[in-house]
Structure 1
């Protein structure tokens, strides 16, 4: 993919939630909410502080993160639905590894 986020922005893809509850009930598509968990695909170089010094981002490609329900802007790149958001919209990094392939 030929896309590189600028400044303190990150590109990520949503990680789809399980289709069953812990009790085994299957959740229909119409009742599902958009996932608030994603895998970081690419990150910008970072923001600048008051003195103009570059401050690198805390997230890196491959990190699994949680973000707000209405965070980011949805885009389609190479036929894939992705999100672009500022690092400040990320609430935290999940320590569990992402299942499936890395670095789409």
Structure 2
């Protein structure tokens, strides 16, 4: 997936994975009860700063905090843009 948004400095553009719609036992979760996803795929990475080289790369699946980043919609697709430090882990 290619997107024409280029994050600056140590920022990362993430496409959140879809929210879980079913529990492990098969119960369907209604839209208003679904948790905000905390996993996503990195689609663009900034160049870093002079003090910080970037660790994540495009197509990494990452785990981030529930309230991390800023939501934005580009060409009908939802994304999050956040500092790399807001990413908790690479999965």
Q: 2:21 aligns to what?
A: 19
Matches within 5 A, 1:1-104: 1-49=3-51, 55-94=52-91
| Count of residue pairs brought into register by the alignment | 89
Contact 2:20 2:34 in 1 (8 A): no
- Note the residue ranges of structure 1 that are not aligned, 5 or more in a row: 50-54, 95-104
Counterpart CA distance in 1 for 2:61 and 2:6 is: 19
Counterpart CA distance in 1 for 2:81 and 2:67 is: 12
TM-score, normalised to structure 1's length?
0.81
How far residue 17 of structure 1 moved from its aligned partner, in angstroms, is 3.1
Describe the superposition over 1:36-83 as per-residue Cα deviations: whole angstroms up to 9, x where unpaired: 00000000001222xxxxx32110000000000000000111221100
Question: Could you list the runs of 4 or more consecutive aligned residues of structure 1 that deviate by over 6 angstroms after TM superposition?
Answer: none
- Note the residue ranges of structure 2 that are not aligned, 5 or more in a row: none
> Which of 1 and 2 has greater Rg?
1
Contact 2:20 2:35 in 1 (8 A): no
Contact 2:17 2:37 in 1 (8 A): yes
RMSD, aligned α-carbons: 1.0
